[in-house]
Amino acid sequence: MSKIISITALASISPLGNNPKTIWKNYLSEKHCFSKKVLDNQETWVAELDEGSRKIVAELQQSDVKYKSLDKSVLYAMAASRQAVENAGWDTASVFGINIGSSRGATDLFEKHFQEYLETGKAQTLASPTTTLGNIASWVGHDLQSTGPEISHSITCSTALHALLNGVAWLRAGMVDKFLIGGSEAPLTDFTIAQMRALKIYSHSEEEYPNQALHLDKKLNSMILGEGASVCCLEIGKKDNALAIIEGIGYATEILEHNISISAEATCFQKSMKMALQNISPEEVDVIVMHAPGTKAGDLTEYKAIQKIFGENLPLLTTNKWKIGHTFGASGMLSIELAVLMLQHNQFIGVPFLDNPFRVQNPERVIKKVLVNAVGFGGNAVSVLLAI
C-alpha cells in the first residue's frame, strides 16, 4: 500500500470567505477580519464569517426541514464539505470516510438549550441529539449520502490535525481509499467568551492589530476567537489533481503540570516536528505555519521549540490568527489551507507587524515544503509537513 497521501481538494468557510480566489485575495491584504460584538455583556473582538459565507449557511439551513434545528458548527461543516467533495470530483455513491471534529461542538445550541432548562426546568425533545459531539460527522455523512465510516472527536485546538492523522492512518491501512477530514467551530457565544476571559487570555487591545500573534515581546495576552470550518479530501497515492502531498506527520503529548499547561520550550512541539521531519533535513522546510494563538506563553514556547529543532537557520514563520483569530478545532485545517495556498502561489504570507524571520521572503527561494503546527490544551501537538 502506498504511503503517499494526496490532498485533492480543500474547502472552507471563514471570515476570509468561501472560495480560494477570495481567500487568497484577503490573505494578500494586511487588514484583519475582526469586529466588535457584544458578548458576555461587553464589547468584544471577534472574527465572524464573511457575508457570503453567512448567506451560504442560511440557504443550507432552509433547504431541508431537518436542518433547521442544527447548530452552526454542523452547518458550517456541511457547507464546506459539500464544496470539497465537489471540487475533488468524488462520486457521493462511492465509499469514503469522514472525520470532522470540533473543540466545543454545538456551542450556541447547547447554551440555548441549557439556558431554557434553567428557566423552565424542561429540555426540548431534540436537545440531546442536536448537541452531541458525533452530531457533526453524522450530519455531513447524511448530507453527502456517504456510506463510509463517520467519526467526530474533540482534541481541543488540535482537533482538525488529529482528524488528518486519523485519515492518513485509515488510508495507509487500506481500509478506504478516500477520506474527508477537518474541523468546525462556532464559538462566538456569551459563555465561551466568559471562559476565555476567566483564563485572562482574551484581547482587549485597541491597537491597529488587536491580536498580536507571533509578537514575542507583547506585554498582554491577545487571543481573539473566530468561527468557521475547513475540510480537505485525502486520497491514497500521488494524484494528478493533488493540491499538495502529505510528506510527514508527527504527534506528541506532554505530562501535565496544570489543566492548560505547556512546557517552557514546548517539548510536545519539539517531538511532533522531529517526527514529521524524520525523512528530510530541517533545512528543506521553507515555511512554518505556527499555532501561535496570540497568548504570551503559547507563542513564545512554540518559537523556542522551533529554535531547538531548526537552530539558527529558521524557516519563514507565520500564523493566520492575527487575521482571523483562533477558531479552536477548525484552526489546524485553516492553517493547512494557508500552507497549500502559499505552495500553490509560491508566495509567503507573513504577519504584517513583524520583521525577519517572520515576514521577509528571499525572492530567489521557491516554497516547496511547509510545516503546519497545532496544539490543544494539555499539550496535544500535531505537526504536518506538506510538499508540492
Distance CA 35, CA 31 (A): 12
**CA-wise closest residue to 302 among 31, 93, 314:** 314
Written as one string, the DSSP assignment of 325-387 is: -B-GGGHHHHHHHHHHHHHHHT-----TT--TTSS---TT----EEEEEEEETTTEEEEEEEE
pLDDT tens per residue across span 59-110:
999 999 999 999 999 999 999 999 999 999 998 677 899 999 999 999 999 9
For residue 194, give the C-alpha cell: 466568559
Q: Cβ(331)–Cβ(160) under 8 Å? A: yes
Which value, to the nearest 10 degrees, does the dihedral of the CA atoms of residues 269, 198, 186, 384 take?
0
Angle value at C-alpha 72, between 320 and 154, nearest 5 degrees: 65
pLDDT tens per residue across span 130-173:
998 888 999 999 999 998 999 999 999 999 999 999 999 999 99
Distance CA 177, CA 64 (A): 30
Residue 259: what pLDDT? 46
Distance CA 133, CA 355 (A): 41
CA 224 to chain centre: 14
Amino acid occupying residue 104: R
Residue 161: what pLDDT? 98
Distance CA 171, CA 149 (A): 12
Amino acid occupying residue 308: K
Distance CA 146, CA 312 (A): 48
**CA-wise closest residue to 181 among 210, 149, 203, 205:** 149
Question: DSSP state, 153?
Answer: -
Angle value at C-alpha 213, between 210 and 219, nearest 5 degrees: 70
Distance CA 123, CA 343 (A): 49
If you search the block for the grid coordinates 504570507, which residue do you land on?
Answer: 349
Question: DSSP state, 155?
Answer: B
The tens-digit pLDDT sequence of the chain (388 residues) is 568 999 999 999 999 999 999 999 999 999 999 999 999 999 999 999 999 999 999 999 999 999 999 999 999 999 999 999 999 999 867 789 999 999 999 999 999 999 999 999 999 999 999 998 888 999 999 999 998 999 999 999 999 999 999 999 999 999 999 999 999 999 999 999 999 999 999 999 999 999 999 999 999 999 999 999 999 999 999 999 999 999 999 999 986 654 455 666 789 999 999 999 998 999 999 999 999 999 999 999 999 999 999 998 899 999 999 999 999 999 999 999 999 999 999 999 999 999 766 666 676 778 999 999 999 877 799 999 999 9
Residue 200: what pLDDT? 95
CATH number at residue 334: 3.40.47.10
Distance CA 312, CA 172 (A): 35
CB count, 10 Å around CB of 349? 23
Q: Where are the beta strands (DSSP E) in 48-133?
A: 97-101
The domain in which residue 250 lies consists of 5-387
Q: How many domains does the chain have?
A: 1
